[in-house]
């Protein structure tokens, strides 16, 4: 396991983090889907942060906020569990949750009997929350690393990404695509979720790109076949509604 040092400029944050529907900086998939229903940030970043700033940003978010107060918190990962069942992921499958941080998905997978789990996140603070919650004896590998510079030690049977991909900049998408191809075994699966075209344009003070299911399938490419897609409307702890796009795909054997 590699733990990166926290470096870069310190960024100011507010006590609670929400996802905001409007931004002149966001790269938009659908420029006509607008909305003003979500709470607005008191402070937003006026530029695209580099890697070190991102790391510092996410460390600050988790150090200054309760896990159940951030906008992406969910009491139960219902859509993920449904898609895991549809894909028929075995209990001994190697599963990686990228950007999993403080997510409770690992708790649910452990309770279902999964025995080979990896959680990767850029924030050591987020990983610490989950590690303390599930206990030291859980069958989980905790990896604190920037996803885009991480290298898998072995292939995985399931790659799970709930809302990491939509933060990526255009030049980072190719890096992500290549990483998925190196990380997912033939016959393995991918579950991805991003904000939908009518979803927020900012999240936690950062611009996001919104996708529909066809676009996410296109990101994975011809090596993968989309098995199922879902539209979810996530309710944040503050009561705001966030539309998500989900896909579950299987990697072709040849």
**What is the reported pTM?**
0.79
Name residues of the chain where pLDDT drops below 70.
1-51, 57-58, 62-65, 67-73
For domain 1-254, give the CATH number: 3.40.50.150
Q: CA–CA separation, 173 vs 221, rounded Å?
A: 12
Q: What is the pLDDT of residue 27?
A: 30
Dump strand ranges (E) for the chain. Answer: 19-20, 95-98, 117-121, 140-144, 156-162, 184-195, 202-203, 206-207, 224-235, 241-251
b (16+ CB within 10 A) / e for 38-66? bbebeeebeeebeeebbbbbbbbbbeebe
Q: CA–CA separation, 222 vs 218, rounded Å?
A: 8
Q: What is the pLDDT of residue 65?
A: 65
Residue 168, CB-side half-sphere exposure with 13 Å CA sphere: 22
Q: What is the pLDDT of residue 141?
A: 97
């Amino acid at each position: 396991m590699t733990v990166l040092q926290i470096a870069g400029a310190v960024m100011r944050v507010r006590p609670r983090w929400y996802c905001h529907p409007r931004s002149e900086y966001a790269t938009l998939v659908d420029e006509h889907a607008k909305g003003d229903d979500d709470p607005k940030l008191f402070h937003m970043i006026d530029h695209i942060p580099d890697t070190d700033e991102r790391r510092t940003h996410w460390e600050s978010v988790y150090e200054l906020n309760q896990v159940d107060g951030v906008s992406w918190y969910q009491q139960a990962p219902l859509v993920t569990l449904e898609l895991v069942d549809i894909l028929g992921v075995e209990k001994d499958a190697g599963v990686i949750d990228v950007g999993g941080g403080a997510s409770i998905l690992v708790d649910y997978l452990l309770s279902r009997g999964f025995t080979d789990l990896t959680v990767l996140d850029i924030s050591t603070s987020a990983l610490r929350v989950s590690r303390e919650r599930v206990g030291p004896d859980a069958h989980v590998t905790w990896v604190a690393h920037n996803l885009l510079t991480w290298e898998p030690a072995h292939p995985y049977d399931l790659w799970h990404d709930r809302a990491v991909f939509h933060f990526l900049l255009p030049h980072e998408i190719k890096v992500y695509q290549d990483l998925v191809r190196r990380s997912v075994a033939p016959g393995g699966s991918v579950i991805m979720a991003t904000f939908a075209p009518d979803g927020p344009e900012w999240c936690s003070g950062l611009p996001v790109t919104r996708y529909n299911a066809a676009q996410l399938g296109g990101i994975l490419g011809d090596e993968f076949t989309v098995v199922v897609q879902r539209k979810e409307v996530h309710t944040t702890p503050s009561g705001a509604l966030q539309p998500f796009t989900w896909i579950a795909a299987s990697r072709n054997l040849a």
